[in-house]
Amino acid sequence: MRRLLALVMIMMLPCLVSCGSKEGGLFQQQATEVSMELWYLGENAETEQSEGVEETESEPVPEKVRPAVKGIYVTGPVAGSERMNDLITLVDATQLNTMVIDVKNDDGEITWKMETDSVREMGNGVAYIRDIHALMDTLKEHGIYTIARIVCFKDPVFAQNHIDCALRKPDGGFVTDAYGLAWVNPYNEEVWAYLTEIAQAALDVGFDEIQFDYVRFPIGSDADAADYKVDMTANTKEQAISGFLSYASERLHEKGGVVTADVFGTVIDSPTDIDRVGQNYAELGKKVDVLSPMVYPSHYGPGVFGFDVPDAHPYDTVYQALMLSQKVLGQDTGEESAIVCPWLQAFTATWVSGHISYEGEQIQEQIQAVYDAGYEEWILWNATCRYPMDFSPAEQAEEPLSSGGE
DSSP for 136-176? Answer: HHHHHHTT-EEEEEEE-SB-HHHHHH-GGGB-B-TTSPBPB
Contact indicator for 298, 311 with CB cutoff of 8 Å: yes
Contact indicator for 108, 156 with CB cutoff of 8 Å: yes
Kindly report, residue by residue over 257-267, the tens digit of the pLDDT.
999 999 999 99
DSSP for 292-315? Answer: EEE--GGGSPTTGGG-S-GGG-HH
CA 227 from centroid of its chain's CA atoms: 28
Q: 347, 328, 346: which is closest to 338 by C-alpha?
A: 328
Contact indicator for 73, 147 with CB cutoff of 8 Å: no
Instruction: Report the chain's terminal Cα–Cα distance, integer Å.
Output: 64
**For the chain, which domains are there?**
14-38+65-381 (3.20.20.80)
Give the per-residue pLDDT at 396. 47
Geometric angle at alpha carbon 389, from 387 and 394, rounded to 5° = 110
Give the predicted TM-score (pTM) of the model.
Answer: 0.83
| Helix, strand, coil % over all residues of the chain, rounded to 5 | 35, 15, 50
Q: 253, 242, 261, 267: which is closest to 26 by C-alpha?
A: 267
- Each residue's pLDDT, cut to its tens digit, for the chain (406 residues) gives 444 334 333 334 333 333 334 444 443 444 333 333 323 223 333 333 333 344 444 454 455 689 999 999 999 999 999 999 999 999 999 999 999 999 999 999 999 999 999 999 999 999 999 999 999 999 999 999 999 999 999 999 999 999 999 999 999 999 999 899 999 999 999 999 999 999 999 999 999 999 999 999 999 999 999 999 999 999 999 999 999 999 999 999 999 999 999 999 999 999 999 999 999 999 999 999 999 999 999 999 999 999 999 999 999 999 999 999 999 999 989 889 999 999 999 999 999 999 999 999 999 999 999 999 999 999 999 999 999 988 765 444 444 443 333 3
Kindly report, residue by residue over 8-44, the tens digit of the pLDDT.
333 343 333 333 344 444 434 443 333 333 232 233 3
Kindly report, residue by residue over 349-399, the tens digit of the pLDDT.
999 999 999 999 999 999 999 999 999 999 999 999 999 988 765 444 444
Q: What is the DSSP letter of 288?
A: S
171: number of Cβ within 10 Å? 7
